[in-house]
Chains A and B, each alone.
Chain A
Amino acid sequence: MKKETLEFLEAHQSETPSKWREEAEWRRDNWSWLRHSQKIAVKVLVQMKQEGLTQKALAERMDCTQQYVSKILKGKENMSLDTLSKLEDALGISLIYDEQVVSPSMVAEEVFA
């Protein structure tokens, strides 16, 4: 990169460090269960929207706190089978699904166009 451009960017760097690498690495390291958690959260959210169900109402059906439901819906909760069963019972849907496993091991230049 040309010296003047680099000097400009470095002189205008953000004061606090970005969390992008730390958080992307966390998602990569936890991807094996995280992808299930995210997709279960999607299925639950879509069902809640269809039923017009609030987090509070779902929490009551599951006999847990609204805070815990909120955590589940963020898709970052490593849920137990017990919790998964309670969610299925509360919503009357199956949360088990088939999917293709995506391997994130390809080289960038081959994947982007």
Chain B
Amino acid sequence: MTFDKILDNDTLWAVRYEDMADNALQTLFEQWSDPEWLVDFFLANMADLESYFKITDINQAIYDTIDDNQRIQCLILDISPEADLDKIFRPLENSRTGEMLLGREKARIKERPRHVSWLRIYAIKLEPGCYIITGGAIKLTHTMGEREHTLAELAKMEQVRNYLIDNQAIDADGFVDFLSELQ
């Protein structure tokens, strides 16, 4: 895998996997604005949309996805160099409150009309304020373990995390020192 710099101030990166023409963020933006991809996805996952979100109008669900994707694209384009990315990404595990080495993180739109947003961007936290985007998903179930496409995102986060650890991309000892300073 290789890495693409998303923000010029080095705080946000995205993974480009070996078999992909572009990085994970670009892939998401393309899929989430591609009518053919979206119709296929929602037709295949209609039961989840109905049971978890109580939404039966597939057209409206896709329109909402297109709008949310557009908002996310514009927001990332407009992130200022002074922006605090720790306010955008949150720990993947809702119960996690402390720091962890290369923690798994998520970003989602906080407020939208009619229903909460099902779009998720996933990332690994390199250090406070610095992230690598590993992928994203349309999450229509309560947990990520319930569907193959969200399980695949968990696997990608683990793959990137292990790659960074194995290649000593981060200073693990320094992180231990950082944790002790917090205590």
Contact = CB atoms under 8 A, between A and B. Distances in A.
Contacts, number: 159
A56 B132 CA distance: 43
Interface centre among A8, A12, A108 (most CB of B within 10 A): A108
A35 interface: yes
A74 interface: yes
B88 A20 contact: no
Contact of B29 (A20, A45, A111): A20
Given A9-B3, A20-B25, A99-B63, A4 B171 contact: yes
Interface residues of B, number: 62
A70 B82 CA distance: 43
B36 A74 contact: yes
Interface residues of A, number: 47
Contact of B77 (A28, A49, A102): A28
A62 interface: no
Contact of A20 (B23, B35, B66): B23
Contact of B75 (A6, A14, A49, A111): A111
A87 B16 CA distance: 38
A100 B63 CA distance: 10
Interface of A: 1-2, 4-6, 8-9, 12-15, 17-21, 23-25, 27-28, 31, 35, 38-39, 41-43, 45-46, 49, 73-75, 99-100, 102, 104-113
22 contacts: A1-B11, A2-B170, A5-B171, A9-B3, A13-B2, A13-B4, A18-B14, A19-B22, A19-B26, A20-B25, A24-B29, A28-B77, A31-B70, A41-B35, A42-B35, A45-B39, A49-B39, A105-B74, A111-B110, A112-B87, A112-B109, A113-B109
Give me the 9 closest cross-chain CB pairs, A-B, nearest first: A104-B74, A113-B110, A41-B35, A20-B26, A8-B169, A14-B2, A75-B35, A108-B75, A109-B87
